[in-house]
């Protein structure tokens, strides 16, 4: 638990909303903070205690860790203090200069409009980017249409680094760090816009065109460390998006049936079944067969993000993979809503995956 990890402007706004709901006195008492003597936070005409807001914002960004106790960090303007952190996230702190570059609200409004364009593109709608740039520029702090276009290209670069769906424009890499934080927040808060389930299944592909090699485990990191937060949250969003998962399982059933028919095993193709619809505790989603008629147990993980994106796997799935070994397969579908691809891992999966614990099952000791 560290204030240094706080990177979500939305979490700060949620903490302020809770303070508004409870009232300042109750908010401070409930979380054990005192009033800020210096460097108060100003937002929408209200004044907030910067240290308390930063501590509670940690709860909203990291729900499994909770709010930061007041003794764990300082409230001043040193490098790791609350006022400095909130200032870096684009909020106005009395006694501190505003961050250079576009204001937080300008980044938020531009990001919102970008994702509106992305939704229009996904639905096949035609839109005039030049007109959008001009209209958006008129709503910002004296920005030009050209500067808005540049910001769109910055967002393109951020999404490219995250291997997330994007408009497909040219990219500009020298983006403002605050813009990155705003974009990552947007992705985390609205998973349906990067992890939505398409209305129809992607077109069928030849097996050799669909399947690719798994990503390399030793690729170099080329983006800031803050992307780990977004990738982790995107994985959570994929896991919670049941509609996307169901579409992926349906697609795999179709692929398996077509694969077997091409091997003249129509009898086996008719037996391929999405077993998760009847029992989601089996540790796999689809029952299929190899060419010799042996059962194959397929777990399906689906994302609209790129091949290198993270996914979550349960203890039960790992145990079932160890039990069935080579008969167990994990099919990882990626770029699902655009140009779907897939790689395959055969069990035991804990020999193929780098696993990091994200939570623990807990009971009281008594």
Structure confidence at residue 224 (pLDDT) = 44
Half-sphere exposure of 280 (CA within 13 A, CB side): 7
Token readout for 195 is 């992890």
Does an H or E element contain 342, and which?
strand 341-346
From the CB of residue 299, how many other CB atoms can be counted at a distance below 10 Å?
26
What does residue 10 show for φ and ψ, rounded to 5 degrees?
-65, -35
Domain assignments of the chain as residue spans, ordered by start: 3-93, 104-190, 227-351
Please name every residue paired with 328 in a beta bridge, in sequence order, or none if there are none.
297
Angle between helices 9-22 and 50-61 (to 10 degrees): 120
Structure confidence at residue 306 (pLDDT) = 80
* Beta-sheet strands, E only, within 96-212: none
Whether 291 and 263 have beta carbons less than 8 Å apart is answered as yes
Q: Give me the torsion for CA of 355, 195, 136, 229, rounded to 10°.
A: -10
> What average pLDDT does the segment 63-76 reach?
91
Q: How far apart are CA 179 and CA 144, in angstroms?
A: 17
Structure confidence at residue 105 (pLDDT) = 96
From the CB of residue 15, how many other CB atoms can be counted at a distance below 10 Å?
25
In the DSSP assignment, the letter for residue 44 is T
Whether 303 and 311 have beta carbons less than 8 Å apart is answered as yes
pLDDT tens by residue, 278-288 = 998 999 999 99
Q: Is a pLDDT exceeding 60 seen at residue 222?
A: no
Q: Is a pLDDT exceeding 60 seen at residue 238?
A: no
Position 227 confidence tier, pLDDT thresholds 50, 70, 90? very low
Terminus-to-terminus CA distance in the chain, angstroms? 26
Please name every residue paired with 302 in a beta bridge, in sequence order, or none if there are none.
333
């Amino acid at each position: 638990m560290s204030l240094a990890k706080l990177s979500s402007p939305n979490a700060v706004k949620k903490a302020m909303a809770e303070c508004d709901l409870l009232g300042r006195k109750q908010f401070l008492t409930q979380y054990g903070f005192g009033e800020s003597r210096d460097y108060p936070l100003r937002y929408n005409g209200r004044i907030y205690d910067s240290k308390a807001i930063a501590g509670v914002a940690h709860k909203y960004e990291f729900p499994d860790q909770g709010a930061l106790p007041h003794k764990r960090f300082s409230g001043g303007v040193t490098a790791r203090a609350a006022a400095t952190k909130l200032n870096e996230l684009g909020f106005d702190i009395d006694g501190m200069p505003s961050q250079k570059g576009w204001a937080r609200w300008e980044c938020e409004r531009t990001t919102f409009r970008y994702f509106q364009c992305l939704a229009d593109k996904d639905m096949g709608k035609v839109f005039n980017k030049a007109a959008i740039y001009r209209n958006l520029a008129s709503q910002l702090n004296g920005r030009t249409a050209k500067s808005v276009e540049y910001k769109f290209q910055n967002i393109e670069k951020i999404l490219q680094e995250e291997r997330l769906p994007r408009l497909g424009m040219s990219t500009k890499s020298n983006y403002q760090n605050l813009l990155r934080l705003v974009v990552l927040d947007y992705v985390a808060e609205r998973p349906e816009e990067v992890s939505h389930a398409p209305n129809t299944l992607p077109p069928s592909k030849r097996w050799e065109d669909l399947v690719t090699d798994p990503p390399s485990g030793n690729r170099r990191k080329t983006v800031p460390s803050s992307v780990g937060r977004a990738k982790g949250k995107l994985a959570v969003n994929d896991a919670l998006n049941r509609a996307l998962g169901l579409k992926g399982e349906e697609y795999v059933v179709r692929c398996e049936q077509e694969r077997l028919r091409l091997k003249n095993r129509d009898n086996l193709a008719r037996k391929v079944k999405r077993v998760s619809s009847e029992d989601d505790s089996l540790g796999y989603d689809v029952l299929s067969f190899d060419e010799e008629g042996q059962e194959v147990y397929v777990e399906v993980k689906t994302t609209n993000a790129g091949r290198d994106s993270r996914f979550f796997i349960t203890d039960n799935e790992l145990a079932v993979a160890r039990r069935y070994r080579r008969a167990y397969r994990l099919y990882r579908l990626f770029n699902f809503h655009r140009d779907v691809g897939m790689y395959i891992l055969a069990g035991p999966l804990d020999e193929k995956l780098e696993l990091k614990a994200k939570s623990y099952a807990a009971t009281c000791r008594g």
